[in-house]
Amino acid sequence: GAGVSQSPSNKVTEKGKDVELRCDPISGHTALYWYRQRLGQGLEFLIYFQGNSAPDKSGLPSDRFSAERTGESVSTLTIQRTQQEDSAVYLCASSLTERTYNEQFFGPGTRLTVL
Amino acid sequence: GENVEQHPSTLSVQEGDSAVIKCTYSDSASNYFPWYKQELGKRPQLIIDIRSNVGEKKDQRIAVTLNKTAKHFSLHITETQPEDSAVYFCAARGLYNTDKLIFGTGTRLQVFP
């Protein structure tokens, strides 16, 4: 079946512009996560959604970052007034539910470059 | 909050040798410890995981051990092959303080033929 998809695969933007990154989770997966991975670095948790519960936004690095999710489907991560330090690969993952031992399936990521 | 430390950051082995990657976690309530493999330019993929009620789990050439008392867990790869070359991430999930996965900083494994 279809895995997690993300778009765009690459995004080049100018400093100060806003960007929107999209994630389509696996159908039926109630939990959705966003991570940031800087070049050669680890996976930095940003935010997760679980069903209709309030999202855990504890990993968002600043108020320029926000994310939304419509029901149990697509999610968008928005970065306002982008800065060069925002350059990274943004990975989305989904799982059946986050309160059990379920595997997180990752998307291919969006590589964001801020000039 | 939960913190996961991973060592070493890089590891080079000869094909056929074993490789061991170690992680420690801070939250004693953590109950789930997956390992992900990320090949160059690709997405992370789960390779093995262990729950807090077992001490060891094997799957062919890979195994994971967990020491709850010491709060550390390790990935063991035996008979390494060039295709094992990748970055490996450990992670821990807390039960009470946090429900999200906290990842280690990764280990870049290179297997030389």
Q: State how far the alpha carbon of A15 is from the alpha carbons of A11, A79, A81, B87, B98, in Å.
A: 12, 11, 7, 30, 34
CA dihedral A93, A94, A95, A96 (to 10 degrees): 180
pLDDT digits (tens, 9 = 90+) for B38-90: 999 899 999 999 988 889 999 999 999 999 999 999 999 999 999 999 999 99
| Confidence band, pLDDT 50/70/90 cuts, at residue B95 | low
Q: Cβ A103–B34 below 8 Å, yes or no?
A: yes
Contact A2, A103 (CB under 8 A): no
pLDDT digits (tens, 9 = 90+) for A1-60: 689 999 999 999 999 999 999 999 999 888 899 999 998 888 999 998 988 888 889 899
Report angle CA A25, A29, A32 to the nearest 5 degrees: 60
Chain A contacts in chain B segment 73-112 (CB below 8 A): 89, 99-106
| Confidence band, pLDDT 50/70/90 cuts, at residue A96 | confident
> Can you give the pLDDT at residue A98?
56
> Can you give the pLDDT at residue A1?
60
Residue A43, sorted as left (phi over 0), alpha (psi -120 to 50) or beta, turns out to be beta
Rounded Cα gap, residues A39 and B6, in angstroms: 18
What radius of gyration do chain B's Cα atoms show? Answer: 14
Q: Cβ A98–B105 below 8 Å, yes or no?
A: no
**Partner A contacted by B43 (CB < 8 A):** yes
Is A72 a residue whose pLDDT tops 70? yes
Rounded Cα gap, residues A35 and B101, in angstroms: 10
Tokens 């801020």 belong to A114
Q: Which residues of A touch B100 (CB under 8 A)?
A: 33, 45, 48, 56, 59, 98
Chain A: give the shortest CA distance to residue B71, in Å. Answer: 19
Q: Cβ B43–A109 below 8 Å, yes or no?
A: yes
Is B98 a residue whose pLDDT tops 80? no
Burial (CB < 10 A; 0-12, 13-18, 19+), residue A104, is buried
Q: State how far the alpha carbon of A114 is from the alpha carbons of A18, A23, A72, A84, B46, in Å.
A: 10, 20, 30, 5, 30
